[in-house]
Amino acid sequence: MSQLRAVKRLTLNYTFIQSLYYMGFAAIFAFSAVYLRSKGFTSQQVGLTLALGNLANLLAQPLVANWVSSSKRFTLNQIALLFATLVLASELFLTIVPSVFLVVLLNFLITQMLMMILQTLLVSLSLSQTNQGIPINFGLARGIGSGAFAVISFSLGGVIENVGTFVLPLVASVAATLLIVFIQLFKKSASLAQIAYAQDPKDQANSTAGKPAMQAAQVSRAIVAAKSTPFPQFLKRYPRFFWVLAGIVLILSNHSIYWSYQINIAEHVGGNSSTLGLAAALAAGIEIPVMVYFAKLAKRTPTRSLLLISTLFFVLKATATLLSTNVGQFLGSQIFQIGAYALYLPAVIFYVNEIMDFEDSIKGQAYLAMASTLGGIIGNLVGGFLMDFYTVTIALSVALGLSIIGAGLVYFGIRPKRL
C-alpha cells in the first residue's frame, strides 16, 4: 500500500510539473510568431529565429545529455532546477527586452533552447523514479499537461487582443516560478550516471510501465551514443530506415510551417490571436485521449500501422487547413490532430523500439530526434520565406506537398516486416 501511495503522490507532483511546463510552453511557443511580430519581425525573420532556436537545441542537447548521463556530483533534480531557473531568467528578460532585432532574436533563441533542454530533463525525472522502482504514470501526467496547454492557450488568445503581447513572457515567468517549486518538492534522485543502468537493458526495454518515459528520455542521451556509430554503418543494418527518417523530416517540415505560422493562417481565414488561442487549445485537448490511452491502443494495433495512420492524418490536416476559407472551417480542421502529431509521437518511438535491438533502438531514437529538429529548421525557414514573398495559400500548398511526399517515404520505409 505504501508503494501505491508513493506512486500516486509522485504522479500528482509530476503532473503539476508537466502542467506548469506546458503552460509556459504555450505562452512562448504557441504565440511565438505573435510575440515576435509585435517586436517588428517579419514572417521570414520569425522563421529565422525559430530555425536558429532548433539548431541551437540540436547542438546543445548532446553536450547537456553527456553531462547529465555522466555526472555523479549533480542529481537530475539539481540539473533540472538549474535549467528551470535559467528559463525563468530568460523569460523575465523577454518581458522588458527592447524592440531591437538582434537583442530580441538572441534572447528568444536562448529561451527556446533552454525550454527544449528542460523538456528532456523533466521527462528524465520520471525515468529516474521508474528505474528506482516507482513507475510514475507518465502518460496521465503528459495528457493533463496537454490539457493545461489547451486552457492557457485558449485564455491567452483573448487576453492578447485586449492587453497586448507583453503578457506572454509574464505568464511564462509565473509558470516557471511555480515549476521550480514543484521540482524542489519532487522526490530526490541519484545522479543519472548511478541509476541509468541499474536494471539490465533487456529488463528496461520490456518494462511496460516505464517504456514511454524511458524511451522519450533516452532520445537526448542517445544523441551522444549515436555519434559513436557512423550513420552509413547504422543504415547497413537497417537499410530502409533512411526513408523513414527522410519522410519524417518532410512531414515535420509541414507540421512546422503550420505550427509556427498559425497566426498567419488564422488571419488568412478572417481570425486573430483569439482564433489562434482557440485553435491551439482544441488541438491540445484532442491530443489527451491518444496520449493517455496509447499503450492500450498499441496492444491492439501494430505500431507500424499506427505510424502509417499518423502520416495520413498529417496529410488530411494539411488538406483541411489549405481548403479552409473561414474561421469555423479552420477550427474544424483541428480534429485531425487526434491522428496526426498526437498519434505520431508515441507511435514512432514504440515502432523504433520494436523493430531494433535495444542498443540500436537508442541510436534510432537519437536519429529520430535529429530528423525532427531538421524538419523544424526547414519548415521555419521555408514557411517564413513563402509567407513574406508569396501567400498563405502557397505556403500551405507547399506544406501539403511535403506531407504527401513524406507519408509516401515513410510507407516505403516501413513496408517490410523488418527494416
Q: Kindly give the confidence (pLDDT) of every residue in the chain, 419 residues in length, as a single tens digit, with 9 standing for 90 and above.
A: 466 777 788 888 889 999 999 999 999 988 888 899 889 999 889 989 988 988 888 888 778 877 776 767 777 788 889 999 999 999 999 988 888 899 999 999 999 999 988 988 887 787 677 666 677 777 778 888 888 888 898 888 888 878 888 899 999 999 999 999 999 888 775 444 444 433 333 333 333 333 333 333 444 444 455 445 677 777 788 888 889 999 999 999 999 999 888 889 999 999 888 888 889 888 888 888 887 788 788 888 888 899 999 999 999 999 999 999 999 999 999 999 888 888 888 888 788 877 777 667 767 777 888 888 889 899 989 998 998 889 999 999 999 999 999 999 999 988 755 44
The single-letter code of the amino acid at 85 is T
Per-residue pLDDT, 217 = 43
Q: How far is CA 271 from CA 4, 275, 328, in A?
A: 48, 5, 10
CATH classification code of 2-414? 1.20.1250.20
CA nearest to 112, candidates 141, 144, 79, 90: 90
C-alpha distances out from residue 406 to 212, 214, 262, 413, Å: 25, 27, 21, 11
Longest dimension (CA), the chain: 63
Is residue 73 packed enough to be buried (19+ CB in 10 Å), middle (13-18) or exposed (0-12)?
Answer: exposed
Residue range 393-419, pLDDT digits in tens: 999 999 999 999 999 999 998 875 544
pLDDT of the residue at 43: 87
Best CA proximity match to 120, nearest among 11, 3, 18, 9: 18
Q: How far is it, in rounded angstroms, from Cα 26 to Cα 112? A: 12
Q: Angle CA(196)–CA(244)–CA(124) in degrees, nearest 5?
A: 20
Kindly report each contact of residues 320-325 with a partner whose C-beta sits within 8 Å and lies 24 or more positions away, as own/partner.
321/258, 321/265, 321/396, 321/399, 322/393, 322/396, 322/397, 322/399, 322/400, 324/265, 324/269, 325/269
Sequence spans of domains, the chain: 2-414
Q: What is the pLDDT of residue 328?
A: 93
**Which residue is it, cell 511555480?**
178
For residue 417, what pLDDT is reported?
Answer: 54
In this predicted structure, what is the pLDDT of residue 196?
Answer: 41
With 0-12 CB in 10 A as exposed, 13-18 as middle and 19+ as buried, what is 97?
A: middle
Contact 81, 162 (CB under 8 A): no
- 237: Cα within 13 Å, side-chain hemisphere: 13
The predicted pLDDT at position 143 comes to 80
181: how many CB neighbours lie within 10 A of its CB?
13
* Residue 374 DSSP SS3: helix
pLDDT at 268: 92
Number of Cβ within 10 Å of residue 72's Cβ equals 10
pLDDT at 199: 35
Cβ distance 306 to 298 under 8 Å? yes
Residue pointed to by grid coordinates 532556436: 53
Predicted pLDDT of residue 193: 46
Please name the amino acid found at residue 375. Answer: G
